[in-house]
Structure 1
Amino acid sequence: MIPDRSDLKRRSSDELLVLHAVRLAGFADSGAVVNRVDLPASSVGDTLRGLEGQRLIERMAFADSGGWILTDAGKSRNAELLREELEASGAWPVLHATAEDFESSVNPRLVRVITEWQLDRADNSVEVLLRELTDLADALSALMGELAARLPRFARYSRQFSAAVEKARAGEDQWVAGVGRLSCHIVWAELHEDLLSSLGRDRSTEPRSGDR
Protein backbone atom coordinates (compact mmCIF):
# COMPACT_ATOMS: atom_id res chain seq x y z
CA MET A 1 0.00 0.00 0.00
CA ILE A 2 1.37 3.41 -1.01
CA PRO A 3 1.34 5.76 1.99
CA ASP A 4 -0.65 8.96 1.82
CA ARG A 5 1.69 11.85 0.99
CA SER A 6 0.55 13.65 4.14
CA ASP A 7 2.14 10.86 6.17
CA LEU A 8 5.59 11.39 4.67
CA LYS A 9 6.28 14.36 6.92
CA ARG A 10 5.57 13.05 10.38
CA ARG A 11 6.32 15.14 13.46
CA SER A 12 7.79 13.17 16.32
CA SER A 13 5.89 12.98 19.59
CA ASP A 14 6.74 15.47 22.33
CA GLU A 15 7.85 12.56 24.51
CA LEU A 16 10.34 11.34 21.92
CA LEU A 17 11.60 14.82 21.05
CA VAL A 18 12.33 15.79 24.65
CA LEU A 19 13.64 12.41 25.76
CA HIS A 20 15.91 12.17 22.74
CA ALA A 21 17.16 15.72 23.25
CA VAL A 22 18.28 14.82 26.76
CA ARG A 23 20.03 11.74 25.38
CA LEU A 24 21.85 13.67 22.68
CA ALA A 25 22.93 16.47 25.03
CA GLY A 26 23.98 13.96 27.70
CA PHE A 27 23.15 16.44 30.44
CA ALA A 28 20.56 19.08 29.61
CA ASP A 29 18.75 21.89 31.35
CA SER A 30 15.46 23.20 29.98
CA GLY A 31 17.20 25.69 27.70
CA ALA A 32 19.38 23.02 26.14
CA VAL A 33 16.32 20.89 25.41
CA VAL A 34 14.42 23.82 23.88
CA ASN A 35 17.39 24.45 21.59
CA ARG A 36 17.14 20.88 20.29
CA VAL A 37 13.38 20.56 19.70
CA ASP A 38 10.77 22.47 17.75
CA LEU A 39 8.47 22.97 20.73
CA PRO A 40 7.44 25.93 22.91
CA ALA A 41 9.36 26.25 26.17
CA SER A 42 6.13 25.63 28.13
CA SER A 43 5.58 22.30 26.35
CA VAL A 44 9.18 21.31 27.00
CA GLY A 45 8.78 22.09 30.72
CA ASP A 46 5.57 20.09 30.99
CA THR A 47 7.10 17.14 29.16
CA LEU A 48 10.25 17.17 31.30
CA ARG A 49 8.16 17.11 34.46
CA GLY A 50 6.12 14.23 33.08
CA LEU A 51 9.22 12.24 32.16
CA GLU A 52 10.70 12.90 35.59
CA GLY A 53 7.50 11.66 37.19
CA GLN A 54 7.78 8.45 35.17
CA ARG A 55 11.41 8.12 36.27
CA LEU A 56 12.63 8.22 32.69
CA ILE A 57 14.89 11.16 33.49
CA GLU A 58 16.39 12.39 36.72
CA ARG A 59 17.63 15.78 37.76
CA MET A 60 21.30 16.23 38.55
CA ALA A 61 23.28 19.18 39.86
CA PHE A 62 26.90 20.00 39.04
CA ALA A 63 28.46 23.06 40.67
CA ASP A 64 26.10 25.93 39.85
CA SER A 65 24.25 24.15 37.05
CA GLY A 66 21.39 21.68 37.07
CA GLY A 67 19.75 19.54 34.44
CA TRP A 68 18.46 16.12 33.46
CA ILE A 69 20.02 12.86 32.40
CA LEU A 70 18.34 9.69 31.18
CA THR A 71 17.77 6.86 33.62
CA ASP A 72 18.19 3.27 32.45
CA ALA A 73 14.42 3.13 31.99
CA GLY A 74 14.65 6.35 29.97
CA LYS A 75 17.28 4.87 27.68
CA SER A 76 15.07 1.86 27.05
CA ARG A 77 12.01 4.01 26.42
CA ASN A 78 13.96 6.26 24.07
CA ALA A 79 15.09 3.28 22.01
CA GLU A 80 11.52 1.95 21.96
CA LEU A 81 10.13 5.27 20.72
CA LEU A 82 12.78 5.49 18.00
CA ARG A 83 11.87 2.00 16.77
CA GLU A 84 8.17 2.83 16.76
CA GLU A 85 8.73 6.08 14.88
CA LEU A 86 10.88 4.41 12.24
CA GLU A 87 8.34 1.64 11.68
CA ALA A 88 5.41 4.09 11.48
CA SER A 89 7.17 6.50 9.13
CA GLY A 90 8.57 3.93 6.73
CA ALA A 91 11.73 6.04 6.66
CA TRP A 92 14.27 3.25 7.25
CA PRO A 93 15.61 3.16 3.65
CA VAL A 94 16.12 6.93 3.60
CA LEU A 95 17.63 6.96 7.08
CA HIS A 96 20.01 4.13 6.24
CA ALA A 97 21.09 5.72 2.96
CA THR A 98 21.62 9.09 4.65
CA ALA A 99 23.70 7.52 7.42
CA GLU A 100 25.85 5.66 4.89
CA ASP A 101 26.44 8.81 2.83
CA PHE A 102 27.21 10.77 5.99
CA GLU A 103 29.84 8.24 7.08
CA SER A 104 31.49 7.90 3.68
CA SER A 105 31.39 11.42 2.28
CA VAL A 106 30.96 14.35 4.65
CA ASN A 107 32.03 13.01 8.05
CA PRO A 108 35.71 12.41 7.16
CA ARG A 109 35.92 15.97 5.84
CA LEU A 110 34.49 17.44 9.03
CA VAL A 111 36.82 15.38 11.22
CA ARG A 112 39.82 16.68 9.30
CA VAL A 113 38.69 20.32 9.44
CA ILE A 114 37.95 20.23 13.18
CA THR A 115 41.26 18.51 13.89
CA GLU A 116 43.17 21.14 11.94
CA TRP A 117 41.19 23.90 13.65
CA GLN A 118 41.97 22.57 17.12
CA LEU A 119 45.56 21.45 16.67
CA ASP A 120 47.25 23.31 13.85
CA ARG A 121 45.43 26.54 13.10
CA ALA A 122 47.82 29.07 11.63
CA ASP A 123 46.50 32.54 10.93
CA ASN A 124 46.75 32.05 7.19
CA SER A 125 44.69 28.83 7.35
CA VAL A 126 41.67 30.18 9.22
CA GLU A 127 39.90 31.49 6.12
CA VAL A 128 40.58 28.22 4.29
CA LEU A 129 39.06 26.20 7.13
CA LEU A 130 36.05 28.51 7.37
CA ARG A 131 35.52 28.13 3.64
CA GLU A 132 35.59 24.36 4.03
CA LEU A 133 33.04 24.58 6.84
CA THR A 134 30.83 26.67 4.59
CA ASP A 135 31.10 24.02 1.88
CA LEU A 136 30.26 21.36 4.46
CA ALA A 137 27.17 23.32 5.50
CA ASP A 138 25.96 23.24 1.89
CA ALA A 139 26.76 19.53 1.61
CA LEU A 140 24.94 18.77 4.84
CA SER A 141 21.86 20.68 3.71
CA ALA A 142 21.73 18.66 0.50
CA LEU A 143 22.34 15.38 2.31
CA MET A 144 19.65 15.88 4.95
CA GLY A 145 16.84 17.13 2.70
CA GLU A 146 15.02 13.86 2.03
CA LEU A 147 15.43 12.54 5.56
CA ALA A 148 14.18 15.79 7.09
CA ALA A 149 11.13 15.57 4.83
CA ARG A 150 10.38 12.13 6.29
CA LEU A 151 11.43 12.81 9.87
CA PRO A 152 11.29 16.57 10.57
CA ARG A 153 13.28 16.29 13.80
CA PHE A 154 16.39 15.94 11.62
CA ALA A 155 15.84 19.35 10.01
CA ARG A 156 17.56 21.20 12.84
CA TYR A 157 21.03 19.88 12.08
CA SER A 158 21.70 21.60 8.77
CA ARG A 159 20.05 24.79 10.06
CA GLN A 160 22.08 24.87 13.28
CA PHE A 161 25.33 23.89 11.59
CA SER A 162 24.92 26.71 9.06
CA ALA A 163 24.12 29.17 11.87
CA ALA A 164 27.28 28.15 13.75
CA VAL A 165 29.37 28.57 10.59
CA GLU A 166 27.96 32.06 10.07
CA LYS A 167 28.87 33.05 13.62
CA ALA A 168 32.37 31.66 13.16
CA ARG A 169 32.77 33.59 9.92
CA ALA A 170 31.74 36.73 11.83
CA GLY A 171 34.77 36.23 14.08
CA GLU A 172 33.29 34.18 16.94
CA ASP A 173 35.79 31.31 16.82
CA GLN A 174 34.17 29.39 19.67
CA TRP A 175 31.30 28.46 17.33
CA VAL A 176 33.56 26.06 15.43
CA ALA A 177 34.52 23.61 18.17
CA GLY A 178 33.38 25.18 21.45
CA VAL A 179 31.43 23.35 24.14
CA GLY A 180 28.40 24.58 26.03
CA ARG A 181 26.83 25.80 22.78
CA LEU A 182 25.56 24.32 19.50
CA SER A 183 28.90 24.79 17.74
CA CYS A 184 29.73 23.11 14.45
CA HIS A 185 31.45 20.29 16.32
CA ILE A 186 28.61 19.70 18.78
CA VAL A 187 25.87 19.82 16.14
CA TRP A 188 27.81 17.41 13.95
CA ALA A 189 28.49 14.98 16.79
CA GLU A 190 24.83 14.99 17.84
CA LEU A 191 23.76 14.33 14.26
CA HIS A 192 26.15 11.39 14.08
CA GLU A 193 24.73 10.01 17.32
CA ASP A 194 21.16 10.61 16.14
CA LEU A 195 21.66 8.78 12.85
CA LEU A 196 23.13 5.76 14.59
CA SER A 197 20.69 5.60 17.48
CA SER A 198 17.73 6.02 15.13
CA LEU A 199 19.00 2.96 13.26
CA GLY A 200 19.23 1.07 16.55
CA ARG A 201 23.02 1.09 16.51
CA ASP A 202 25.12 1.82 19.60
CA ARG A 203 27.78 4.36 18.87
CA SER A 204 30.04 2.97 21.59
CA THR A 205 30.45 -0.19 19.48
CA GLU A 206 31.00 1.70 16.22
CA PRO A 207 34.50 2.21 14.76
CA ARG A 208 35.90 5.47 16.09
CA SER A 209 35.96 8.25 13.49
CA GLY A 210 37.38 10.94 15.77
CA ASP A 211 34.52 13.40 15.44
CA ARG A 212 33.87 13.75 19.12
Structure 2
Amino acid sequence: MTAPFLRVLHAVRTLGYADAPSVAGRAQLPADEAEEHLLDLQARGWVAWSSFGGDGGWSLTEEGRRRGEALLAEELDAAGAGSAVTAAHAAFLAWNDRVAAACTAWQLAELGIASAPADLDEILAELRSAAAFLAGMEAALVRHLDRFGGYHRRFAAALDAAAGDPRWITATDRPSCHRVWFELHEDLVATLGLRR
Protein backbone atom coordinates (compact mmCIF):
# COMPACT_ATOMS: atom_id res chain seq x y z
CA MET A 1 0.00 0.00 0.00
CA THR A 2 1.33 3.42 -0.95
CA ALA A 3 1.67 5.69 2.10
CA PRO A 4 -1.11 8.32 2.21
CA PHE A 5 1.23 11.33 2.15
CA LEU A 6 2.97 9.91 -0.93
CA ARG A 7 -0.40 9.29 -2.58
CA VAL A 8 -1.23 12.97 -2.03
CA LEU A 9 2.13 14.17 -3.33
CA HIS A 10 1.83 11.86 -6.33
CA ALA A 11 -1.75 12.95 -7.00
CA VAL A 12 -0.56 16.56 -7.25
CA ARG A 13 2.05 15.45 -9.77
CA THR A 14 -0.27 13.40 -11.96
CA LEU A 15 -3.01 16.03 -11.91
CA GLY A 16 -0.57 18.85 -12.59
CA TYR A 17 -2.63 21.58 -10.95
CA ALA A 18 -5.68 20.76 -8.86
CA ASP A 19 -7.84 21.83 -5.95
CA ALA A 20 -7.88 19.87 -2.69
CA PRO A 21 -11.05 17.86 -3.45
CA SER A 22 -9.56 16.68 -6.75
CA VAL A 23 -6.32 15.70 -5.01
CA ALA A 24 -8.29 13.85 -2.31
CA GLY A 25 -10.28 11.97 -4.95
CA ARG A 26 -7.19 11.04 -6.93
CA ALA A 27 -5.34 9.97 -3.76
CA GLN A 28 -8.43 8.03 -2.62
CA LEU A 29 -8.42 9.73 0.78
CA PRO A 30 -11.01 11.64 2.82
CA ALA A 31 -10.88 15.36 2.03
CA ASP A 32 -9.75 16.42 5.51
CA GLU A 33 -6.89 13.89 5.55
CA ALA A 34 -5.74 14.93 2.08
CA GLU A 35 -5.79 18.61 3.12
CA GLU A 36 -3.65 17.86 6.18
CA HIS A 37 -1.09 16.14 3.97
CA LEU A 38 -1.18 19.03 1.49
CA LEU A 39 -0.43 21.52 4.26
CA ASP A 40 2.40 19.34 5.54
CA LEU A 41 3.83 19.01 2.04
CA GLN A 42 3.53 22.76 1.59
CA ALA A 43 5.46 23.32 4.85
CA ARG A 44 8.23 21.08 3.48
CA GLY A 45 8.30 23.11 0.26
CA TRP A 46 7.18 20.17 -1.88
CA VAL A 47 3.85 21.61 -3.09
CA ALA A 48 2.65 25.16 -3.60
CA TRP A 49 -0.78 26.79 -3.66
CA SER A 50 -1.52 29.42 -6.26
CA SER A 51 -4.60 31.09 -7.64
CA PHE A 52 -5.49 32.77 -10.90
CA GLY A 53 -8.67 34.75 -11.38
CA GLY A 54 -10.42 33.19 -8.42
CA ASP A 55 -9.43 29.64 -9.37
CA GLY A 56 -6.89 28.07 -7.00
CA GLY A 57 -4.95 24.86 -6.94
CA TRP A 58 -1.97 22.88 -5.78
CA SER A 59 1.09 22.15 -7.90
CA LEU A 60 4.41 20.42 -7.38
CA THR A 61 7.61 22.36 -6.71
CA GLU A 62 10.93 21.23 -8.18
CA GLU A 63 11.94 19.98 -4.74
CA GLY A 64 8.63 18.13 -4.53
CA ARG A 65 9.28 16.52 -7.89
CA ARG A 66 12.74 15.35 -6.82
CA ARG A 67 11.58 14.07 -3.44
CA GLY A 68 8.53 12.42 -4.99
CA GLU A 69 10.63 10.58 -7.55
CA ALA A 70 13.03 9.42 -4.82
CA LEU A 71 10.14 8.11 -2.71
CA LEU A 72 8.55 6.41 -5.71
CA ALA A 73 11.88 4.73 -6.52
CA GLU A 74 12.08 3.44 -2.94
CA GLU A 75 8.51 2.17 -3.15
CA LEU A 76 9.17 0.50 -6.51
CA ASP A 77 12.25 -1.23 -5.13
CA ALA A 78 10.50 -2.33 -1.92
CA ALA A 79 7.62 -3.80 -3.92
CA GLY A 80 10.01 -5.58 -6.31
CA ALA A 81 7.93 -4.12 -9.11
CA GLY A 82 10.59 -2.61 -11.37
CA SER A 83 10.30 -5.16 -14.16
CA ALA A 84 6.48 -5.16 -14.03
CA VAL A 85 6.23 -1.37 -14.31
CA THR A 86 8.92 -1.25 -17.00
CA ALA A 87 6.99 -3.84 -19.03
CA ALA A 88 3.73 -1.96 -18.50
CA HIS A 89 5.35 1.27 -19.65
CA ALA A 90 6.66 -0.37 -22.82
CA ALA A 91 3.21 -1.79 -23.59
CA PHE A 92 1.63 1.59 -22.81
CA LEU A 93 3.93 3.38 -25.28
CA ALA A 94 2.80 1.03 -28.05
CA TRP A 95 -0.78 2.21 -27.40
CA ASN A 96 0.05 5.83 -26.68
CA ASP A 97 0.44 6.85 -30.32
CA ARG A 98 -2.93 5.29 -31.18
CA VAL A 99 -4.77 7.05 -28.35
CA ALA A 100 -3.01 10.34 -29.12
CA ALA A 101 -3.95 10.04 -32.81
CA ALA A 102 -7.61 9.37 -31.97
CA CYS A 103 -7.77 12.27 -29.53
CA THR A 104 -5.99 14.64 -31.90
CA ALA A 105 -8.32 13.69 -34.77
CA TRP A 106 -11.30 14.53 -32.60
CA GLN A 107 -9.77 17.80 -31.32
CA LEU A 108 -9.07 18.96 -34.87
CA ALA A 109 -12.60 18.05 -35.92
CA GLU A 110 -14.06 19.98 -32.97
CA LEU A 111 -11.98 23.02 -33.91
CA GLY A 112 -13.05 22.71 -37.54
CA ILE A 113 -9.48 22.51 -38.82
CA ALA A 114 -9.23 18.81 -39.66
CA SER A 115 -8.04 17.98 -43.16
CA ALA A 116 -10.61 15.18 -43.24
CA PRO A 117 -13.79 14.71 -41.21
CA ALA A 118 -13.42 12.62 -38.08
CA ASP A 119 -15.66 9.60 -37.66
CA LEU A 120 -16.85 9.59 -34.06
CA ASP A 121 -17.76 5.89 -34.16
CA GLU A 122 -14.25 4.98 -35.37
CA ILE A 123 -12.64 7.13 -32.69
CA LEU A 124 -14.79 5.60 -29.95
CA ALA A 125 -13.99 2.11 -31.26
CA GLU A 126 -10.26 2.86 -31.08
CA LEU A 127 -10.64 4.17 -27.54
CA ARG A 128 -12.64 1.06 -26.57
CA SER A 129 -9.71 -1.05 -27.76
CA ALA A 130 -7.40 1.09 -25.61
CA ALA A 131 -9.74 0.60 -22.64
CA ALA A 132 -9.52 -3.19 -23.04
CA PHE A 133 -5.73 -2.98 -23.07
CA LEU A 134 -5.81 -0.69 -20.04
CA ALA A 135 -7.91 -3.15 -18.03
CA GLY A 136 -5.29 -5.87 -18.42
CA MET A 137 -2.35 -3.56 -17.80
CA GLU A 138 -3.92 -2.14 -14.64
CA ALA A 139 -4.70 -5.60 -13.29
CA ALA A 140 -1.04 -6.56 -13.69
CA LEU A 141 0.20 -3.37 -12.03
CA VAL A 142 -2.07 -3.39 -8.97
CA ARG A 143 -0.67 -6.80 -8.00
CA HIS A 144 2.46 -4.83 -7.09
CA LEU A 145 1.35 -1.23 -6.45
CA ASP A 146 -2.23 -0.50 -5.41
CA ARG A 147 -2.04 3.16 -6.44
CA PHE A 148 -2.30 2.16 -10.11
CA GLY A 149 -5.89 1.11 -9.49
CA GLY A 150 -8.73 3.18 -10.91
CA TYR A 151 -7.37 4.28 -14.28
CA HIS A 152 -9.44 1.76 -16.22
CA ARG A 153 -12.63 2.64 -14.32
CA ARG A 154 -12.11 6.37 -14.95
CA PHE A 155 -11.18 5.88 -18.62
CA ALA A 156 -14.16 3.60 -19.22
CA ALA A 157 -16.51 6.06 -17.49
CA ALA A 158 -15.25 8.88 -19.72
CA LEU A 159 -15.65 6.66 -22.77
CA ASP A 160 -19.23 5.82 -21.81
CA ALA A 161 -19.98 9.52 -21.34
CA ALA A 162 -18.34 10.35 -24.69
CA ALA A 163 -20.93 8.27 -26.55
CA GLY A 164 -23.53 10.88 -25.57
CA ASP A 165 -21.26 13.91 -25.24
CA PRO A 166 -18.06 13.74 -27.33
CA ARG A 167 -16.45 16.46 -25.21
CA TRP A 168 -15.57 13.61 -22.84
CA ILE A 169 -12.94 12.48 -25.35
CA THR A 170 -10.54 15.41 -24.88
CA ALA A 171 -11.99 18.03 -22.50
CA THR A 172 -9.56 19.43 -19.95
CA ASP A 173 -12.24 20.49 -17.44
CA ARG A 174 -13.18 16.90 -16.52
CA PRO A 175 -11.61 13.43 -16.30
CA SER A 176 -11.89 12.87 -20.06
CA CYS A 177 -10.36 9.93 -21.90
CA HIS A 178 -7.37 12.05 -22.91
CA ARG A 179 -6.85 13.46 -19.42
CA VAL A 180 -7.01 10.06 -17.70
CA TRP A 181 -4.61 8.61 -20.28
CA PHE A 182 -2.24 11.56 -19.79
CA GLU A 183 -2.31 11.08 -16.00
CA LEU A 184 -1.47 7.39 -16.37
CA HIS A 185 1.44 8.28 -18.62
CA GLU A 186 2.72 10.74 -16.01
CA ASP A 187 2.28 8.09 -13.31
CA LEU A 188 4.38 5.55 -15.21
CA VAL A 189 7.06 8.10 -16.07
CA ALA A 190 7.29 9.36 -12.48
CA THR A 191 7.39 5.83 -11.06
CA LEU A 192 10.28 4.88 -13.32
CA GLY A 193 12.09 8.21 -12.95
CA LEU A 194 11.91 8.91 -16.68
CA ARG A 195 11.31 12.05 -18.73
CA ARG A 196 8.70 12.22 -21.45
TM-score relative to the length of structure 1? 0.85
Quote the Cα distance in structure 2 between the aligned partners of 1:118 and 1:72: 31
Q: Which residue of 2 aligns with 1:135?
A: 129
Q: Which residue of 1 aligns with 2:20?
A: 30
Mapping 1:66-85, distance limit 5 Å: 66-85=56-75
Deviations 1:106-144 (A, max 9, x none): 212211211211124788811221122122211111122
Quote the Cα distance in structure 2 between the aligned partners of 1:197 and 1:123: 36
Quote the Cα distance in structure 1 between the aligned partners of 2:155 and 2:62: 30
Q: Which residue of 1 aligns with 2:170?
A: 177
Quote the Cα distance in structure 2 between the aligned partners of 1:101 and 1:165: 21
In the TM superposition, residue 34 of structure 1 has moved relative to its aligned partner by 2.0
Q: Which residue of 2 aligns with 1:164?
A: 158
Quote the Cα distance in structure 2 between the aligned partners of 1:19 and 1:60: 16
Q: Which residue of 2 aligns with 1:113?
A: 102
Q: Is the 8 A contact 2:105 2:118 kept in 1?
A: no
In the TM superposition, residue 196 of structure 1 has moved relative to its aligned partner by 1.3
Deviations 1:120-178 (A, max 9, x none): 47888112211221222111111221112211111121111111101111x12221100
Q: Alignment partner for residue 53 of structure 1, among 43, 67, 81?
A: 43
Q: Which residue of 1 aligns with 2:141?
A: 147
In the TM superposition, residue 27 of structure 1 has moved relative to its aligned partner by 1.2
| 3-state SS of paired residue (2:29) | coil
Deviations 1:51-79 (A, max 9, x none): 11222111101111111112222112111
| 3-state SS of paired residue (2:128) | helix
Q: Which 4+ residue blocks in structure 1 deviate beyond 2 angstroms?
A: 120-124
Q: Match of 2:126, as an amino acid?
A: E
Q: Which residue of 1 aligns with 2:113?
A: none
Gaps of 5+ in 1: 1-10, 204-212
Quote the Cα distance in structure 2 between the aligned partners of 1:128 and 1:83: 39
Quote the Cα distance in structure 1 between the aligned partners of 2:44 and 2:105: 44
Quote the Cα distance in structure 1 between the aligned partners of 2:61 and 2:97: 32
Quote the Cα distance in structure 2 between the aligned partners of 1:80 and 1:124: 43
Over the aligned positions, Cα root-mean-square deviation in angstroms equals: 1.6
Mapping 1:33-44, distance limit 5 Å: 33-44=23-34
Q: Report sequence identity in percent.
A: 39
Deviations 1:12-44 (A, max 9, x none): 111111111111222111122123122111211
Q: Which moved more, 1:62-71 or 1:125-134?
A: 125-134
